[in-house]
Structures are given as C-alpha cells and as structure tokens.
Amino acid sequence: MKRIGLLSDTHGYWDEKYSQYFEECDEIWHAGDIGSEEIAQKLAALKPLRAVHGNIDGQGTRILYPKHLRFSIENVDVWMTHIGGYPGKYAQEVKPEIYNNPPQLFVCGHSHILKVMFDKQLQTLCLNPGAAGKYGFHKIRTLVRFTIDGKDIKDFEVIEIGKLL
C-alpha cells in the first residue's frame, strides 16, 4: 500500500504547507510546470519524488524529469505527463498511446483545473490535481492525496491550500 501526494503547476512557488500535507505520504508526484530545480529538490527532500517536466520548465528541469513517465506501482499501471487532457478531450500527443495502451491511472496537469474523472471507454482513472502555485487564472490552490493498494486506487482527498490573491 502506498499513500501518494500529487501536485502540479507550482511554477517555482514553494509553500511550507507542502511539508505538512505530504508528511503521511510515501511518495510525491509532480505533474509538471515545476518551475525550478530548487522546488523539485525541496519536494524530493520530503519524500521520494516522481515528476515530469511541463511547458514552462527550463532545460535543467527537462534533463532531470521526462516529458512522459510510465511506471507501475503496487499493481497499477500509471502514466504521468503534463499536457494530457481528459476523457473526450485528450491532447493530440497522447491520443495514440492512450487509446492503444491505456493505463489504469492517467495523471496530468497544465489546465490548472482540478479534475477526477473516470474514462469508461478506456477503463482509466484520470487525475489532474489543479495548480499548487500562485501563477495562473485559478482561484484556489489545490493538491490531492490518495492511496494505491494493490489494484485499488482509493481514499481520495482534495486539499485546498489557499486562495490566489
């Protein structure tokens, strides 16, 4: 059983609340637009970090973190990328792979819109944690925690970490 802390779109912003909210997690996942290598290092100092780079990330971050990350945890096939879309509106770049080889869990960021949707056609759970940083049009900064236990993805928590000023 693994407890996961998921965030995206920090855009170089560090909030001390991340430490508090990820304390009970086994891993932290960042779905891109990290914003700086320093933010990634701070997250990795808390818990093991899995991350992808996003469209605003610089060359250093792009070298450290791939555009797409496909991995297995417990008994769940996970695909994480920054620009992925959601059921019915997947990004052009991910369409061939997601339809030919759908993961059980598809994680992305980019939109700054929190979404938890199940794609019935693909039998894929799609997660976007919204945006945890202070840059963007979103009104509330969010992150998500959940548990992966064998093949089960459960115990979801959406955490509002503050209003955008």
Classify residue 97 as exposed, middle or buried by CB count within 10 Å of its CB (0-12, 13-18, 19+). Answer: middle
Structure tokens at 8: 């995206």
Classify residue 16 as exposed, middle or buried by CB count within 10 Å of its CB (0-12, 13-18, 19+). Answer: exposed
pLDDT tens for residues 117-136?
A: 999 999 999 999 999 999 88
Report pLDDT for 165.
Answer: 61
Q: Assess whether pLDDT exceeds 90 at residue 112.
A: yes
Report pLDDT for 144.
Answer: 98
Q: What angle do CA 74, 129, 134 make, to 5 degrees?
A: 140
Average pLDDT (87-112) is 97
pLDDT tens for residues 44-67?
A: 999 999 999 999 999 999 999 999
Q: Assess whether pLDDT exceeds 90 at residue 3.
A: yes
Q: Give the pLDDT band of residue 147 (cuts 50, 70, 90).
A: very high
Q: Assess whether pLDDT exceeds 90 at residue 10.
A: yes
Q: Which pTM value belongs to this model?
A: 0.96
Average pLDDT, the chain: 96
Classify the C-alpha dihedral 151-131-61-68 as positive or negative. Answer: positive
